[in-house]
RNA sequence: GUCCCCGUCGUCUAGGGGUCUAGGACACCGGGUUUUCAUCCCGGCAACAGGGGUUCGAAUCCCCUCGGGGAUGCCA
């Protein structure tokens, strides 16, 4: 059995398409099917090679490995539709010869006019079929006018088409309301998706067409092409779409929608795959944090939900945080590196063991990798000047009491390079009546410049004596001198 | 408008005639741990869209209404 993912290279990989890819891939791995990648680049105006490359990268990043595809070939290639035009031409000839298709000389403008008129009357548009019956004389006249014909597929009247769908069940359409004769080849000779998807799926021996629900209403047209060609239909499964919080199809205005941006934000592919698998599907025991293998073992076409689901950014974030907390530290350090650089530090200048300890201390407060930018300065900056909230806290009287006390301890060498790890908190505690929040928050603010962050006991030794001393001095000068 | 799909807590879902005073997860709220924020642990809030059937019995089956989504391209 074989499944395919067939993106159109007209931009970045959208999260919704990524889910289609993931579902196909998970199912392929689960059932031992082949996974084929096909590039549907017949939209000449919008398709680009850069886009194709970025989609390939994103799929790889997600952990998807295709068995056949444009970059690695296979027995049913080529895998780019733009390279298969000769194949399509033969079929078009045949459809034309057998009178299942005809040349249409209407111009886009003419059609547009009719469409507008019909829409104004609130009736469904249907091709007027003018060219379906014209004779050779008229054709010659049009050609003399310099018109290039498109090819239209002839839709029979009153034909019932039942699509057997694994997820939705049996759906019956009447050929009378699928919009009439539809174009399969543009006037410039470029074929249309709806047509060649049929050809390629057959030619590439795709057994299961698993795609988004937005393709469901195209399916009867495709079935009709199968019938005209006398070839059997594949198995179909149309999964529901992902919605934004307002329940409209997920789009840019809802937040980030490209896989690339998720990667840049610092989501882990494992978390993204895990989260997406759980949209419209659940395990028997309700477990949610699942490894790839666990998902593969349990997922089944038969229990994928029928209803659309709202993409919950918050839950994804939460799940990503779980993955960050459970990741092997060594690999995690690697993953964090670019974000540390982005924060303005050179991670290579930091001793590896030290860096690993820092990551271990802060991973708990990171839900996405880029969160480290907010806390890394605690360890790598000399001062890490207090941010707004910390500044506000340090201006409080009880904070000043602690700053003055600590400054004395440092300047009088009571706290020194030898004892600071155990000493700072202990001695401050001994020198004041303050406790709890009023003790710890000022200490945290003074020493780290932030109100949030890793545990103080873990942070102090990692910051180091010199930096701590400077920070205390800075706070003393800033908040305790009149 | 027309065609098609869908409808369980705010969100993702479990459930497929009795075991449902409807279970889990995120979010939210409260408590505990951490003499601190976060993490972690415990607890709470919160749903069968509405109306008709069928049945001894309906979240579960049927119909209608309503609501949402998709399609309606010489895009994919």
CATH numeric code, A381-480: 1.10.10.350
Q: Which of residues 51-80 of A touch strand B (CB under 7 A)?
A: none
Q: How many CB atoms lie within 10 A of CB A366?
A: 23
**Whole-number distance in Å between A75 CA and B3 C1':** 39
CA–C1' span, A452 to B37, in Å? 5
What are residue A14's DSSP bridge partners? A258
* Strand-strand pairing, A160-165 and A169-174: antiparallel
Residue nearest to nucleotide B10 (CA to C1'): A245
Cβ of A460 near strand B (distance < 7 A): no
* A1-67+240-326 and A85-239 in the same fold: yes
Q: Which residues contact A174 (CB under 8 A, 6 or more apart)?
A: A158, A159, A160, A161
pLDDT tens for chain A, residues 1 to 482: 999 999 999 999 999 999 999 999 999 999 999 999 999 999 988 999 999 999 999 999 999 999 999 999 889 979 999 999 999 999 999 999 999 999 988 877 777 777 777 666 666 666 556 676 666 666 667 667 777 889 999 999 999 999 999 999 999 999 998 988 999 999 999 999 999 999 999 999 999 999 999 999 999 999 999 999 999 999 999 999 999 988 888 888 888 889 999 999 999 999 999 999 999 999 999 999 999 999 999 999 989 999 999 999 999 999 999 999 999 999 999 999 999 999 999 999 889 999 999 999 999 989 999 999 999 999 998 888 888 888 888 888 788 888 888 888 777 777 776 777 777 777 777 777 777 788 888 889 888 988 888 888 888 889 888 888 889 888 888 877 76
Nucleotides of B under 7 A from a protein CB: 1-8, 10-15, 23-27, 34-40, 68-76
Contact, A344 CB vs strand B, < 7 Å: no
SS3 at position A243? strand
| Cβ-based neighbour number of residue A246 at 10 Å | 9
Find the Å distance, CA of residue A316 to C1' of nucleotide B46.
21
Element (H, E) at A65: none
Å between CA of A311 and C1' of B12 = 8
How many angstroms is C1' of B66 away from CA of A374? 48
Q: What is the ipTM for the molecules in this complex?
A: 0.94
Long-range contacts from A280-286, C-beta under 8 angstroms, 24+ separation = A280/A239, A280/A240, A280/A304, A280/A305, A280/A307, A280/A309, A281/A305
Distance from residue A232 (CA) to nucleotide B18 (C1'), in Å?
45
What positions of A carry a catalytic annotation?
Answer: 252
Name the DSSP letter for residue A412: T
Is the Cβ atom of A286 within 7 Å of strand B at any atom?
yes
d(CA A421, CA A459): 10
| Residues 375-414 of A, Cβ under 7 A from nucleic strand B | none
Range 83-102, chain A: CB under 7 Å to any strand B atom? none
**Nucleotide with C1' nearest the A111 CA:** B74
Task: Considering only CA atoms, name the residue closest to the C1' of nucleotide B39.
Answer: A364
Q: Given this model, what pLDDT does residue A98 score?
A: 94
Residue with minimal CA–C1' distance to B25 is A288
Q: How far is the CA of A91 from the C1' of B28 (A)?
A: 59
Q: Give the C-alpha distances (Å, rounded to integers) separating A20 from A23, A60, A211, A273.
A: 5, 14, 6, 11
Q: What is the CATH number of domain A1-67+240-326?
A: 3.40.50.620
Nucleotide nearest the Cα atom of A196 (by C1'):
B76
d(CA A213, CA A40): 18
Q: Kindly determine whether the C-beta of residue A216 is less than 7 Å away from any atom of nucleic acid strand B.
A: yes
How far in angstroms lies nucleotide B48's C1' from the CA of residue A105? 55
> What CATH number matches the domain at A85-239, 3.40.50.620, 3.40.50.300, 3.90.1150.180, 3.40.50.150?
3.40.50.620
DSSP string for A124-180: ------GGGS--HHHHHHHHHTT---EEEEPPPTT-EEEEEETTTEEEEEEGGGS-S
Whether A362 contacts A376, CB under 8 Å? yes
pLDDT tens sequence across A180-232: 899 999 999 999 999 999 999 999 999 999 999 999 999 999 999 999 999 99
Nearest nucleotide from residue A365 CA, by C1' atom: B38
Q: How far apart are CA A67 and CA A56, in angstroms?
A: 13
Q: Domain-by-domain residue ranges, chain A?
A: 1-67+240-326, 85-239, 381-480
* Cα-Cα end-to-end distance for chain A: 79
The pLDDT, as a whole number, for residue A125 is: 62
Q: What element of type H or E holds A36?
A: strand A34-37
Q: A194, A242, A204: which is closest to A8 by C-alpha?
A: A194
Structural element, H or E, at residue A344 = none
Q: Is the CB of A6 under 7 A from strand B?
A: yes
Using CB atoms within 10 A of its CB, is residue A73 exposed (0-12), middle (13-18) or buried (19+)? exposed
CB A374 within 7 Å, strand B: no
| pLDDT the model gives residue A14 | 95
Residue A249's nearest nucleotide, by CA–C1', is B69
- The pLDDT assigned to A355 comes to 93
CB-based contacts of A243-252 (< 8 A; 24+ apart in sequence): A243/A308, A243/A309, A243/A310, A243/A311, A244/A310, A244/A311, A245/A310, A247/A308, A247/A310, A249/A16, A249/A214, A250/A15, A250/A16, A250/A311
Q: How far is the CA of A169 from the C1' of B58 (A)?
A: 23
Q: Is the minimum distance from the CB of A42 to strand B below 7 Å?
A: yes
Residue nearest to nucleotide B23 (CA to C1'): A286
């Amino acid at each position: 059995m074989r499944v395919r993912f067939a993106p159109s290279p007209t931009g970045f990989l959208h999260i919704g398409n990524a889910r289609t890819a993931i579902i196909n891939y998970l199912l392929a791995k689960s059932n031992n099917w082949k996974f084929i990648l096909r590039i549907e680049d017949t939209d000449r105006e919008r398709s680009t090679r850069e886009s194709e490359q970025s989609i390939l990268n994103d799929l790889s990043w997600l952990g998807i490995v295709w068995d056949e595809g444009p970059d690695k070939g296979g027995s049913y290639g080529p895998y780019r539709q733009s390279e298969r035009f000769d194949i399509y031409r033969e079929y078009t000839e045949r459809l034309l010869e057998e009178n299942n298709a005809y040349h249409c000389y209407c111009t886009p403008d003419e059609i547009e006019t009719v469409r507008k008129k019909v829409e104004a009357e609130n009736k469904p548009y249907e091709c007027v079929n003018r060219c379906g019956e014209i004779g050779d004389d008229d054709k010659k006249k049009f050609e003399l006018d310099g018109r290039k014909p498109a090819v239209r597929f002839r839709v029979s009247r009153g034909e019932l088409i039942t699509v057997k769908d694994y997820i939705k069940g049996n759906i019956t359409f009447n050929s009378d309301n699928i919009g009439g004769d539809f174009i399969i080849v543009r006037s410039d000779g470029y074929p249309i998706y709806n047509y060649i998807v049929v050809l390629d799926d057959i030619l590439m021996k795709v057994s299961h067409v698993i795609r988004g629900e937005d393709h469901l209403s195209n399916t009867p047209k495709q079935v009709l092409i199968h019938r005209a060609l006398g070839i059997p239909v594949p198995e179909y499964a149309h999964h529901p779409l992902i919605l934004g919080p307002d329940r409209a199809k997920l789009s840019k205005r809802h937040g980030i929608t490209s896989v690339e941006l998720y990667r840049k934000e610092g989501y882990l592919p494992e978390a993204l795959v895990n989260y997406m698998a759980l949209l419209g599907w659940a395990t028997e025991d309700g477990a949610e944090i699942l490894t790839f293998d666990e998902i593969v073992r349990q997922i089944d076409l038969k229990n994928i939900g029928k209803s659309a689901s709202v993409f919950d950014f918050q839950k994804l974030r939460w799940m990503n945080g779980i993955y960050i907390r459970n990741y092997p530290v060594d690999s995690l350090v690697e993953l964090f590196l670019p974000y540390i650089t982005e924060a303005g530090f050179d991670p290579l200048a930091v001793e590896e063991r030290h860096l690993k300890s820092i990551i271990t201390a802060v991973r708990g407060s990171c839900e996405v990798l880029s969160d480290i930018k907010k806390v890394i300065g605690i360890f790598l900056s000399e001062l890490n000047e207090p941010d707004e909230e910390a500044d506000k806290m340090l201006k409080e009287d009880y904070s000043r009491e602690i700053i003055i006390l600590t400054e004395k301890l440092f300047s009088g060498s009571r706290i020194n390079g030898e004892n600071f790890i155990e000493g700072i908190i202990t001695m401050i505690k001994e020198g004041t009546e303050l406790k709890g929040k009023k003790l710890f928050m000022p200490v945290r603010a003074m020493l780290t410049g932030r109100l949030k962050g890793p545990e103080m006991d873990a942070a102090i030794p990692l910051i180091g004596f010199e930096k701590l001393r400077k920070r205390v001095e800075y706070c003393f000068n800033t908040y305790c001198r009149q």
